[in-house]
Amino acid sequence: MAYQLSFAILHNYDSRKIGITVPVWLKSGAKAVNIEAKLDTGSSLCVFRHGIGELLGLHIESGTRQEISTATGSFIAYGHEVLLHALGIEFTSTVFFAAEEGFNRDVLGRQGWLDRMLLGIVDHDGALYLSHYDDVV
């Protein structure tokens, strides 16, 4: 049996590089930061570097504390509500900022991003197909 989906956006990425990189901007109040985040379907949460939260003017530790476990250990992050914009899709989301300044990844995970998307990936072609879940074409 064959299934079909329609997507509003096609984003081409370099499949020779590690991970799928997505251009993102985060906004809190009047401050905004542009970054490149990695799409991580195995990450439960969207997690960003400590310094990104600081650039947004957030007091990181005033957010919702969350211990995040990974295959190599665990770390603490704090959740804050921000405006998240990626590939033309924008919404308010609770994302997490690492407590430690040494954390060096920016990740779009399942809660707060992927759970709002219709997503298709053809890695061989470096093609990421995307629509906001509520705007299915």
Element holding 37 (H helix, E strand): strand 31-39
CATH of domain 16-108: 2.40.70.10
Residues 2-31 pLDDT 10s: 988 899 999 999 988 899 999 999 999 999
Phi and psi at 123, nearest 5°, equal -65, -35
C-alpha Rg value of the chain to the nearest Å: 15
Quick: pLDDT tens for 51-107.
Answer: 999 999 999 999 999 999 988 889 999 999 999 999 999 999 999 999 999 899 999
Confidence of residue 137 (pLDDT cuts 50, 70, 90): low
* pLDDT value of position 39: 97
Q: Flag whether pLDDT at 129 surpasses 90.
A: yes
